[in-house]
Amino acid sequence: MPLVRIEILKGHTADYKKMLLQSVHDALLKALGIPDDDRFQRLYEIEEEYFELSATKSDKFTLIDLTLFPGRSKEIKRNMVKEISRILEERLNIPSTDIFILINEPSLDNWGMRGEQASEMEISYKKD
């Protein structure tokens, strides 16, 4: 159940934004083996005056914040980063130098779902 937050500069087309969301989801499907309907994504568009970037970054700069259940191997996370970057470059021509990905892994004690604490639930997911 990855929670996805994507931040981009304002000004992209609706088709671009839809493809961005779909591309990140497709990468997570492949890299993490999540179910297709496991989709919790938020896209934030930020006015240029409120999004400070290095002069070396383009208007396609994309910041992706992923919150995942803890315990996945370094290799799975490496593959996920590479797959997200590959698909975004292939589909939207976003250079890997314009993609920043942050992975957060709060303990299951810090997740609440369906009225329960996740640490008290039977949750299985690909860890290695």
**According to the model, what pLDDT value does residue 110 have?**
75
What pTM, to 2 d.p., does this model score? Answer: 0.88
**According to the model, what pLDDT value does residue 87 have?**
98
Using DSSP bridges, classify how beta strands 116-117 and 112-113 pair: parallel, antiparallel or unpaired. Answer: antiparallel
Is the separation of the CB atoms in 123 and 69 below 8 Å?
Answer: yes
Report pLDDT digits (tens) over 78-124.
999 999 999 999 999 999 999 999 999 988 787 777 787 776 767 66
Long-range Cβ contact pairs of 89-93 (< 8 A, separation 24 or more):
91/19, 91/23, 92/16, 92/19, 92/20, 92/23, 92/60, 93/60
Structural domains of the chain in order of their starting residue, each with its CATH number: 3-120 (3.30.429.10)
